[in-house]
Amino acid sequence: MDNETVSEWFELYGDDVFHFLIYRIGPSDAEDLLQEVFIKALKGFSRYKGNASPKTWLFSIARNVAIDESRKRKSNKWMDTVPYDDMNEPSTDLTPEVILSANEETKCIVDCIQSLKPNYQDVIILRGIKELSVKETAAILKWSENKVKITHHRARIALNDQLRRCKDDEQTRSSQRA
């Protein structure tokens, strides 16, 4: 039963967990970490009590896997270079200029999210990108709903500051090229 259930959860929630991992860690390792999340879910299935939704439980596992990966990267002093063009499959009717601009914008957003402190990254991804409710986010992060609201507000301010800096840097670079 647990194999079937976890397989069903993979079909239902795999994409959401994958996108969380992309924003949290980067696309280069997201597939491997996605597998790790579902292997941990399968191994820990007997501990799943059903108090939270399966999606909430899987995001909790994904968050812990992402934290472990971040620690491993820091201890190895290894920086991940992110191939951003793999993140979005562009439509074939777009011009190369539009695709390049979209990839640069995506790179800027991902860089800005990844530059935030881990708690801010988590709440931005879960609330802002994955559009989970305050209650679901609180369950995943093991926070109070009030802490989710406050941290999300602060994280949005920090992200907007980072995005402004990124945009200013890009404008400076393009004016230097001209």
Q: Per-residue confidence of the chain (178 residues) as pLDDT tens digits?
A: 588 999 999 999 999 999 999 989 888 889 999 999 999 999 999 889 888 899 999 999 999 999 999 888 776 543 444 444 444 444 445 666 666 666 677 778 888 999 999 999 999 999 988 999 999 999 999 999 999 999 999 999 999 999 998 888 777 766 676 6
Domains of the chain: 2-177 (1.10.10.10)
pTM over 0.75: no
Return the amino acid letter for 68: D
